[in-house]
Amino acid sequence: MKIVLLGPPGAGKGTQALRLVENRNIVQLSTGEMLRAAAAAGTPVGLRAKAVMDGGGLVSDEIVVDIVSERIDAPDCANGFILDGFPRTVPQARALDTMLQQKGLRLDAVIEMVVDEAALLARIENRAREAVAAGKEVRRDDNPEAFKQRLEAYRAQTAPVSAFYGQSGRLHRVTGMLSIEAVAEEIDAALDAVTV
């Protein structure tokens, strides 16, 4: 199955994606993770992306589209994948359609996690606290300033992606404010109704 998971920062996309990976034998493709790995490795693309990411802005469409296109060709994607954090702009969504078509593939479903924005900052702060407690590094963009920018980027550039998929009848909306299990159930119900 090939799935897109949409939702603002802090909506719980990563958590739900991990569950889908386990239950549906597909891989999670998080462009945020890929870009952080490229930045940590100090690759030219990673270094270019790093400054933008630290400020909460969006990396160029060209960079992320190339990264995703290359990653989708890997053998572990053959059974399907869940795109987490991509597409984030309408041009990326169009590029995804084109790239999948060229590869003879098709998107099966787009799941949008709808959340109450007021609760998001608290979630991000919690994520940073949990990382500290677990002895892990806190994401450089999990702070109020960068978060405001990320939310702004979401409103301006990613919200239209949901309308784009809505127009073609591929969008399923779920309530992201419920418990992890309840959100998972909603996602499962939406995916089970899709014929692959």
Residue of 7, 32, 46, 176 interacting with ligand AMP (CB under 6 A): 32
Q: In the bound complex, what is the minimum distance in angstroms from residue 195's beta carbon to ligand AMP?
A: 27
114: CB partners within 8 A, 6+ apart? 7, 173, 174, 175, 176, 177
Q: Does 59 bind ligand AMP (CB under 6 A)?
A: yes
Kindly indicate which of the ranges 16-24, 58-66, 71-79, 164-172 contains the residues binding ligand AMP, using the contact rule CB under 6 A. Answer: 58-66
Considering the rule CB under 6 A, would residue 112 count as an interface residue with ligand AMP? no
The DSSP string of 89-136 is SHHHHHHHHHHHHHTT----EEEEEE--HHHHHHHHHHHHHHHHHTTP
State how far Cα 83 lies from the chain centre.
6
> Could you give the string, one character per residue 154-183, with x where binding to ligand AMP holds by CB under 6 A and - elsewhere?
------------------------------
Total residues binding ligand AMP (CB under 6 A): 17
Output the CA torsion sign for 62, 161, 80, 13: positive
- CA proximity to 172, closest of 16, 9, 15, 19: 16
> Would residue 154 be called left, alpha or beta, if left means φ above 0 and alpha means ψ between -120 and 50 degrees?
alpha
Does 184 participate in binding ligand AMP (rule CB under 6 A)?
A: no
Residues forming the active site: 13, 88, 127, 139, 150
Window contacting ligand AMP (CB under 6 A); options: 52-60, 121-129, 159-167, 168-176:
52-60
Contacts with ligand AMP by CB under 6 A lie at 9, 31-32, 35, 52-53, 56-59, 64, 85-86, 88, 92, 141, 150
